[in-house]
Structure 1
């Protein structure tokens, strides 16, 4: 056999070592390329309660004519981009005193109608805030809180801006709990809320349903003393609350009505809504 030149022997020896090293690697460490981009194909149609209605249904609505239902409650609503332009003066004339507007989803979608909807509510004298549709499957809680703040979800002390809210509900793209265990989901929520608090000096509201909270967090009571509850339940009564909260701050009670968007009751008179907007010093006064 013809003897190979020294440089050729060296090249083949190095190639053999490389092939042996690759063969020894666990298959999980070998990737075919960058991770697939997050799916935002449904983002324009995802809004507060869209998946709760789909999974839990509608079981009626409160009788707003009854004093024990509507007494000492403040009416408001929430909107997102799929509703398009909103007639805010008409909404105010029909009784809306506060509103939440979807700002963002995950770390890859901003509501294209956000500016018009958010500023329109302010122009009509309605106290407004922004909410974020959480996607625990695409990035960390901290990253999503920062994205939310950077795209309209911040708070200021003008007395007309409510603190931001994080919308936690069934995954519209797959597994209801975004592939997370209850412990991991709880930690993701804490990552979001602690980041929001650190940056905005306000606690974010948590929007959810009791059924989702039980399923995906194991019914943790971790946030009841820190983050106000915005509960979604389409029924005549509020019903059971998630663990940790002894009352809801806001109840989203209907997915339709005379007002544009979804209808909500703030659990208290208008002065309580104003106190939430003004900040802790006003709330304690």
Structure 2
């Protein structure tokens, strides 16, 4: 894909890259004007989890980010032990996870990480987990015309997918690593599109992120061109 290939920049991401934050209902009251004034250019906002949870702050957060002039997108917290990938992708797309080529909407993101409620890998084998993610990704693409960004850690990916390769062909990577460097990436990825490098900071509430590129590249990602 042209826009994906265009982001293949040398690691590590430099601090001059566009800055972002990601928020959930834990950050229900965000002063988006201040966030924008701090230099933040983009935001990811939690929309859904599993097939029964909708972020009650999503609408106000998404509208606030839009009004402040940020490029914004939404993310879904995966619960692979609850229902199929297709079911959750459909739920996400219908409840804030949609996409349009308006130049300000980032592709939806699949947040898949260690289970906060139970079994480390949600009780799935590595092959079953790969199948679940593939099901989510393909269904989201069918619903929206875009493949989702995958948010994860290299440790989780190695543990729960067997360090599967292949997703780099369609899915931009959003790696979480709270360190001064990105470190090793999941198999197949030679770069990350987003880097969540801290869980707090001066730019605004929520987790702190960087985009691997420049502002024009961020706009291209949003546009899908």
Say whether the fold is shared (TM-score over 0.5).
yes
Which aligned runs of 4 or more in structure 1 are off by greater than 3 angstroms? Answer: none
Between Structure 1 and Structure 2, the one with more strand by share is: 2
Alignment of 1:40-119 (within 5 A): 69-71=14-16, 73-119=17-63
Q: Give the deviation of 1:143 after TM superposition.
A: 0.2
- Is 1:274 the counterpart of 2:219? The answer is yes
Matching residue of 1:168:
112
Matching residue of 1:60:
none
- Is 1:197 the counterpart of 2:164? The answer is no
Q: Give the deviation of 1:82 after TM superposition.
A: 1.2
Matching residue of 1:140:
84
The runs of 5 or more residues in structure 1 that have no matched partner are 1-67
Aligned partners of 1:99, 1:123: CA distance in 2, in Å? 12
The runs of 5 or more residues in structure 2 that have no matched partner are 1-12
Structure with higher Rg: it is 1
Q: Give the deviation of 1:158 after TM superposition.
A: 1.0
Matching residue of 1:32:
none
Q: Which residue, 212, 220, 236 being the options, matches 2:164?
A: 220
When normalised by structure 1's length, the TM-score is 0.74
Q: Give the deviation of 1:69 after TM superposition.
A: 3.3
When normalised by structure 2's length, the TM-score is 0.93
Between Structure 1 and Structure 2, the one with more helix by share is: 1
Q: Whose relative contact order is higher, 1 or 2, with alpha carbons under 8 Å and at least 6 apart?
A: 2
Matched pairs, number: 213
For the aligned residue pairs, the C-alpha RMSD in angstroms reads 1.1
Matching residue of 1:31:
none
Matching residue of 1:50:
none
